Amino acid sequence: TSEYPHINRGLDGIVAFSTTKSSIDGQKGELIYSGYNIDVLAEKATFEEVCFLLWNDRLPNKSELDELKNELISQRNLPKPVLEYIKTTNKNAEPMAVLRTAVSMLSDFETENSGDKAKDSRKHAIAMTAQIPAIIAAFDRSRKGKKIVSPLKEGSTAYNFLYMLNGEKPGDAAEKTMDLCLILHAEHGMNASTFTARTICATESDMFSAVTGAIGALKGPLHGGANTAVMNTLLELEKEGDSADAVAFTKKKLENKEKIMGFGHRVYKTFDPRAFHLRKMSKKLSEETGHEKLYEWSEDMMKTMKDEKDIDPNVDFFSATVYYSIGIQPDLFTCIFTMSRVSGWSAHYIEQSENNRLVRPRALYIGEKNLEWTPVEKR
């Protein structure tokens, strides 16, 4: 009796938009941002170049890149009421929840409208890309009772973030690691948070609303929240000390029908190309920082998942140990994903608003119809 014969649970395989932002070949394990393979970008690009690429579908020339860097630097300061909120909110709040609220607040201070939607979108994309790192660092310091550090008037997004978080300027290696993480997480097709951002954009709502909604979607453990969950799993193993056995641990979880965080993907049926880079970084960093065990357990989990389920790691698996090795605490990991993905969300917002149609699918009603009304005292 259904008007719709088929429900596509999770919109699996549905193509709802066209895009020039990224292409994912899930069989080959290939990822392209606006024409450039992720392996090329990982080797040669900076995060700022990737932002320009995603927003403009081409690489910047030297003066365009300098201009973008300067604009990002000039937008790093947070409005006072946002800082006040960060300082006064519950110190035990989830960082992603604080970030979501603070990003939403930013729109209160972007009320000037030039009348040119493309120009305003670009301005808002830059403002959020510059201010999200400042929000994360300010909340982390504030909750630890440390003084909030003002942003630098120089340096890359990665450099300034590590400086604001730790209160000291990072070394070249830490900056490079952070920058590479930002490049690898910037854009990924119609993932849940980007779909959310495009859906909000399609109602002709503003970019701050789209990014706020996207942060809510990214926060969940089936999406960006998985990186924090991965680290918590590895730290659980660490607590077991010498008797820790990552193979047995993984098998037991699988027997109990539990999901292993950081594995599996709707699109990739092979190794996630981002995980390839993160795995290399994780190995090198864990050796350098004395966290070899965490890396060994990660490898054991990976082999067990391959043998038992033929499932590969996704972007969130090895990013966890990378962030941990550069001294970032686990509950900030998904915020760092946000710091990068805001570039992709805003690129999709711009693209959607250039050729918009309301997103409005349908649901199959499976309830009863035309029931008789019972007065409240008789129910």
CB-CB neighbours of 56 under 10 Å: 15
DSSP 313: B
Looking at the Cβ atoms of 44 and 309, the one nearer to ligand SDX is 309
Task: Report in angstroms the alpha-carbon separations of 136 from 204, 351, 358.
Answer: 28, 27, 32
Site string for ligand SDX, 16-35 (x = CB under 6 A): --------------------
Catalytic residue among 265, 277, 300, 348: 265
Q: Which of 189, 208, 196, 211 is nearest to 359 (CA)?
A: 196
What tokens appear for 234 in the block? 């590895």
Binding flag, residue 282, ligand SDX (CB under 6 A): no
Q: How far is CA 132 from the centre of its chain?
A: 12
Binding flag, residue 118, ligand SDX (CB under 6 A): no
Binding flag, residue 260, ligand SDX (CB under 6 A): yes
Binding flag, residue 174, ligand SDX (CB under 6 A): no
Binding flag, residue 311, ligand SDX (CB under 6 A): yes
Binding flag, residue 215, ligand SDX (CB under 6 A): no
Q: Scan for tokens 């009304």, then name that residue.
A: 373
Binding flag, residue 314, ligand SDX (CB under 6 A): yes
Region binding ligand SDX by CB under 6 A among candidate stretches 39-47, 116-124, 169-177, 261-269: 261-269
Binding flag, residue 316, ligand SDX (CB under 6 A): yes
Please name the residue ranges forming H helices in the chain. Answer: 38-44, 47-56, 62-74, 80-88, 95-106, 117-143, 157-166, 172-185, 192-201, 207-218, 226-239, 246-255, 273-289, 292-309, 315-325, 333-354
- Select from 16, 222, 235, 364 the one that contacts ligand SDX (CB under 6 A): 222
Check if 265 is active-site.
Answer: yes
Please name the residue ranges forming H helices in 80-167. Answer: 80-88, 95-106, 117-143, 157-166
Looking at the Cβ atoms of 155 and 220, the one nearer to ligand SDX is 220
- Select from 226, 294, 320, 326 the one that contacts ligand SDX (CB under 6 A): 226
Region binding ligand SDX by CB under 6 A among candidate stretches 54-62, 117-125, 165-173, 217-225: 217-225
Task: Report in angstroms the alpha-carbon separations of 154 from 46, 163, 215.
Answer: 15, 11, 27
Task: Report in angstroms the alpha-carbon separations of 178 from 32, 119, 230, 284, 328.
Answer: 20, 29, 19, 14, 11
What is the nearest approach in angstroms of ligand SDX to the Cβ of residue 215?
13
Catalytic residue among 277, 300, 316, 348: 316
Binding flag, residue 312, ligand SDX (CB under 6 A): no
Q: Where along the sequence are the contacts to ligand SDX (CB under 6 A)?
A: 10, 188-189, 191, 222-224, 226, 259-266, 309, 311, 314-316
Residues known to be catalytic: 265, 316
